Structure 1
Amino acid sequence: MRAFQIGDQSGIEALTATTRPDPVAAPGMVVLAPRLVSLNNRDIQIMRGAYGAKKPVERIPVSEGVGEIVAVGDGVSGFSVGDRVIAPHFVNWTGGDFGFHAFSHDVGVTHDGWLAERVVVPATALVRVPEALSDRQAAALPSAALTAWNAVVEVGKVKAGDLVLALGTGGVSTFALQIAKANGARVAITSSSDDKLAIARELGADITINYRTHPDWAAELMKATANAGADIVVETGGQATLSQSIAAAAVNATIVIIGVTAGKAADGLPNYGTIIGKNLTLRGIAEGSRAMLVRLVRAVEANGIEPVVKKVFAFDQAPEAYAYLASSEHVGKVMIEVQ
């Protein structure tokens, strides 16, 4: 089979085309033929050697996609050859509370991922894709959308009328916007691009703030909300933006900490006391479980949510897809068509 491997992780240019023997379905496992895969920020971090310890050079990357079952191992029930399926990348987290067991099998990190003509996944992790959903709708659900769902619905417990603040216009943030609007919430979005903010408004964003024009974007949000602030903050920036997220939060708000896209903080948290003063909840999350993915799929089907897909590349153009994602020119998702 054709595949790509991550190489020495010295940068995105280390992504290398390769060939491998077709995998065999071991007991309890299925072999999938990926149809469409979706890139995430962590795929860039992995290529730069910035996502934990370096991985084996032969690791096949990419953590989410939609595929068709082509082989089923012994002991597998409920799935057949030809089924179209997806799976969260923490395949061992099928339901219940998060635990460190999730990290033992992380598709695209500890085990080979989706950027190949075949990928092996435990059958217990699979979720069947309804016929009503297109490959584009399904491909970005298992990681980016699932993370947004966990943040806004599972942890944030969004209610109609809440204000959800999402940082940036990447895959997680755009899905957070769409999921929040489907639940009757209002949404605020930040970006350094007025063009990207215009797209966010087309998707239903109620408040948009250019953080380049307004470096103190938290103050702008408070001004726009008569000092009420955001009830749920989808914090994808990390340490460098957390202080402003705290300042932008409402009393009793929940800040869900997801990413590190903005880098490290320069001076810690000068408003640390505000966490206590506002009675804030700060909660870190790692994607979501299979049970959450089932609920997300139902919500996407019921509400007709269409992901924002900026560009789809051919399989042989995977290096160009990585470069495009790294350029931050996009809004929403960047995908690669395998078949």
Structure 2
Amino acid sequence: MRTYRLATPGSGDPIELGTEERPIPGPRQLLVKTRAAAINRRDLLITTGRYPLPSRPGVVPLSDGAGEVVAVGADVTRFAAGDRVTASYWPRWVSGPLRPDLVDQLGCTTDGWLAEYVLFDETAAVAIPEHLTWAEAAALPCAGVTAWNALTRPGTLTAGQTVLTLGTGDVSLFAVQLAKAMGARVIATTSSPAKADRLRALGADEVVDYVANPDWSQEVRGLTGGQGVDHVVETQGPATFGQSLRAASLYAQICLLWVVSEKPETLTITEEDLGGSLATIRREFVGNRTELEALCRAVDTAKLRPAVDRAFGFDEAVSAYRSYRDEGSFGKVVIEF
């Protein structure tokens, strides 16, 4: 089979293509024929050595993908040949809190999806909704689960509440779709009228242009009659956090998804920001297999379709990385096999 691996530092390309023996599944493993894989921002950080978790040299990249089971080990009970599956971002974290002994990540410390065939323990795999294309299904494990958990814990989002999303990154787009499917009113921020139209098509009820309105938190509060929003999916902090806090209602839930920046940033909260707030501020780092299964059920029930911006062929994987790095995208950049 053909497979990509993380390139040697200084080689000039982020990943390198090679040929290897097709793996054979162990007793509790699945052999999956990859149909599509998706790139996340953390995959770029891994290639430049800026990702907080050190990667294994020569690892097969990408945490997100989808494919068809073609062979199973003798003791496998959860899946069979022909099943359509994805896999958990944290392949050994099934449920409960994340523990230090479960910190393996696909495409970082253990081999990911950018190969024609991949091996997973059956406990990592999750069935994908039948209505999704391979490319759409490949978008779920990282950004989809992160958005799901940002909305559903703690203090579960209820119908009629208002959710604020920031920008048009992958997590934000998922949050728009999921929050709308849960019956929430969605207010999104963006930088251009063209993106505003696309956000409305995904389900946003109101869109605030943060370029035209630099003090966008006041416009958000105006759209809620001065009350503020109930939930904030804060994907652009720390720089935007003060405004997110000012846009939030008295007892809002704010999920802070810290962005690794080109240079270190400091989270600054002023007295004005905190003056009228009793908001709960929390973090999320993707989620476990049980939460990926819950996301898949929600996507299936609402018949949601993740936003896919553009697709590249397997032989174009290096170009896909460069495109993701250099060109703006609205939705996932995927590699189809």
- Residues 278-289 of structure 1: matches in 2 within 5 Å? 278-289=277-288
Secondary structure at the aligned position of 1:44 is classed as helix
Secondary structure of 2:67 counterpart? strand
CA offset at residue 337 of structure 1? 0.3
Structure-2 change in CA distance of 1:198 and 1:263 (3 Å): farther
Are the aligned partners of 2:131 and 2:303 in contact in 1 as well (CA < 8 Å)? no
Instruction: Provide the residue aligned with 2:222 in structure 1.
Output: 223
The gaps in structure 2 that reach 5 residues or longer are none
Counterpart CA distance in 1 for 2:204 and 2:110 is: 37
Please give the per-residue CA displacement for 1:78-113, whole angstroms capped at 9, x wherever unaligned.
21122111121111121223333331x211111011
Q: What one-letter code is carried by the residue in structure 2 that aligns with 1:281?
A: T
Residue of structure 2 in register with 1:193 after alignment:
192
TM-score (norm 2): 0.92
CA distance in 2, matches of 1:276, 1:6: 48
List gaps (5 residues or longer) in structure 1.
Answer: none
State the shift of 1:244 in Å. 2.1
Which of 275-284 and 245-254 deviates more? 275-284
Rounded to whole Å, the distance in 2 between the matches of 1:298 and 1:237 is 28
Tell me how far apart the structure 2 counterparts of residues 308 and 185 of structure 1 sit (CA, whole Å): 19
Contact 1:232/1:254 (<8 A) preserved: yes
Q: How many residues align?
A: 337
Aligned partners of 1:9 and 1:54 also within 8 Å: no
Question: Is the 8 Å Cα contact of residues 238 and 260 (structure 1) preserved in structure 2?
Answer: yes
Flag the 1:116–1:278 CA change in 2: closer, same or farther, 3 A. same
- Provide the C-alpha distance between the structure 1 equivalents of 2:242 and 2:10, rounded to a whole number of angstroms: 31
**Identical pairs, percent:** 39
2-structure distance, mates of 1:53, 1:131: 34
For 1:251, give the aligned amino acid.
L
SS at match of 1:13: coil
**What is the aligned partner in structure 1 of residue 175 from structure 2?**
176
Alpha carbons 1:239, 1:264 under 8 Å: kept? no
* 1:70 maps to 2:62: no
2:37 corresponds to which residue?
37
Instruction: Give the superposition deviation at 1:261.
Output: 5.6
Q: Which range moved further: 296-305 or 131-140?
A: 131-140
Q: CA RMSD in A?
A: 2.2
Worse overlay, 87-96 or 108-117: 87-96
What letter is aligned with 1:311?
R
1:84 aligns with 84
Q: Give CA-to-partner distance per residue, 1:99-157, whole Å, 9 cap, x none.
A: 33331x21111101101111121101211224333323322122211111111123351
1:314 & 1:33 partners in 2: Cα distance? 15
Distance in 2 (alpha carbons) for counterparts of 1:266 and 1:56: 27
CA distance in 2, matches of 1:313, 1:327: 15
- Conserved 8 A contact 2:136-2:307: no
